[in-house]
Structure 1
């Protein structure tokens, strides 16, 4: 399988409904973050990834005031990186078939009441070729390439755990894939320069489709992006998010992700939306281009049955 998952920090974009989204730029570079308290919940796939990369931000409150909280990111039953408070400090632990590492002294590279970055790579192996690689705030704290563990037959083999027990740890800026993620990659909320649509503008930032084939297309503010990140910066993935996105009756029931470049419109995945006003849709794909090459493209949705 090949997958890429991009989430700026919405709990609603997980495969479970138990999370809570929090807004605030002090907690996240994207302005949104979440906590999700259910064990072995996060993202569920139809197949088992044999290799898993993760990059995310975690806002860690003061560990002396944190209680009954832990963060776990992993795959299968017991293959994870865990962050939790211990004796007034943040402890970081790695586990596959057994404990890989356990670091108590983190004060010199883990920041409290601040956003921290975690990068994680795990690959199952039976012949001393399993990989467990962890980087926190650009410090490599584990790089084992001789592990023996196999999660393909685990109870939760097709589940990526995204766990934070409460708001003492808030998660955001998620990139997950079964292909390599550069530790420097990050999620960026694209500034919109212009919106073109034949849907009904509800006046509050939302739009309502009343007929099939109505479209909503948005143009990215390339000048603003280039000023902040540089026109030559690489774009490795694009995620379109409708939050909320729902249908009010039978008939129109789907949104198809589209991209328009010049006179050509390209369709991507079709998503059937729910009647729940809190439901969301997301379409993610891998790309390879620079910020400058995004110019002239429009991204959005087409309503359908």
Structure 2
């Protein structure tokens, strides 16, 4: 299957429209985070993943108004991670709530907390459930019951935060291994090349098919912060907002230019809603230094 989903913290990038994006660096390393209150909804996949890796950041505000706050990640009826306040005590549980991962003061509130997990199906005492919180291992089982493959909802990763007292950001999901240290960062732009119309507010408007926008990365700035040898394990292009502006134009195709050659990736139909967002994500394997000379962007089409 081989999928990789990368979301800095936009509710609009989920497969359900009931969530909300929250702006604020106090809640997220990326500056954006979301909450999503609809049960059994989240991210729709084209196939059932044979196993699932995930990492995300969460911020628990722990306000009096958020007393019934709850976070849940699940697939096919199998509850991967849940965080909830019972009376006055926060608890984080995993593996269908059979394993207590953190409780009480071990659950960080009013600060950003990172969670990593790996699950692999097994219904005969051979399933895998592995979890880390803030890079500390809290559970590692190879004899768990992990049964989701035949469930009718196994193509949906359910992501729930029933109010804005718990916010999610820095979300990466994949059916291939991801490191607990992976995180989503915004690439600083060095230069923009486009034949689209510059709207003067950081946005660009395509008025004809095959118009393109390509942006190069400020590798020097990125290297100064993370080091030239740091690994790039995935690339996500986000158009925010991205919506139809001309009759006949309805799609954006993610493109990458390197050494004069342009490679096309996913084609995405855009909506007419002015607040719509599109994203194209894929796995990658390179260093920050190897981003030099690369350009990333979109091509408008019908």
Question: What is the TM-score normalised by the length of structure 2?
Answer: 0.96
Per the alignment, residue 113 of structure 1 pairs with 110
Structure 1: distance between partners of 2:60 and 2:84: 9
In the alignment, which of 180, 201, 204 is matched to residue 201 of structure 2?
A: 204
Structure 1: distance between partners of 2:246 and 2:214: 23
Structure 2: distance between partners of 1:127 and 1:245: 47
Listed as ranges, the gaps of 5+ residues in structure 2 are none
The residue matched to 1:22 in structure 2 has which SS?
Answer: strand
Note if 1:92 corresponds to 2:89.
no
Give the drift of 1:250.
Answer: 3.0
8 Å Cα contact 1:116/1:137 also seen in 2: yes
8 Å Cα contact 2:101/2:139 also seen in 1: no
The residue matched to 1:166 in structure 2 has which SS?
Answer: coil
8 Å Cα contact 1:63/1:88 also seen in 2: no
Give the drift of 1:240.
Answer: 0.2
Count of aligned pairs between the two proteins? 302
Note if 1:168 corresponds to 2:165.
yes
RMSD: 1.4
Give the drift of 1:278.
Answer: 1.9
Per the alignment, residue 186 of structure 1 pairs with 183
Structure 1: distance between partners of 2:102 and 2:7: 29
Per the alignment, residue 100 of structure 2 pairs with 102
The residue matched to 2:222 in structure 1 has which SS?
Answer: helix
Structure 2: distance between partners of 1:84 and 1:52: 22
The residue matched to 1:226 in structure 2 has which SS?
Answer: helix
Structure 2: distance between partners of 1:65 and 1:103: 25
Per the alignment, residue 48 of structure 2 pairs with 48
1:169-192 residue CA offsets vs partner (Å, 9 max, x unmatched): 000000000011100100001111
Give the drift of 1:241.
Answer: 0.4
Give runs of aligned pairs for residues 58-73 of structure 1, distance below 5 A. Answer: 58-62=58-62, 66-73=66-73
Structure 1: distance between partners of 2:73 and 2:17: 17
Q: Structure 1 stretch 262-271 or stretch 287-296: which is displaced more? A: 262-271
4+ residue runs over 4 A deviation: none
Per the alignment, residue 5 of structure 1 pairs with 5
Give the drift of 1:95.
Answer: 3.3
1:54-104 residue CA offsets vs partner (Å, 9 max, x unmatched): 1000011136663111100121113221001124332011133xx421256
Per the alignment, residue 242 of structure 1 pairs with 239
Structure 2: distance between partners of 1:37 and 1:267: 35
8 Å Cα contact 1:64/1:89 also seen in 2: no
Structure 1: distance between partners of 2:180 and 2:24: 24
Structure 2: distance between partners of 1:73 and 1:119: 12
Note if 1:152 corresponds to 2:157.
no
The residue matched to 1:287 in structure 2 has which SS?
Answer: strand
Note if 1:287 corresponds to 2:284.
yes
Q: Structure 1 stretch 133-142 or stretch 78-87: which is displaced more? A: 78-87
The residue matched to 2:215 in structure 1 has which SS?
Answer: strand
Per the alignment, residue 81 of structure 1 pairs with 81
Per the alignment, residue 28 of structure 1 pairs with 28
Structure 2: distance between partners of 1:3 and 1:304: 24
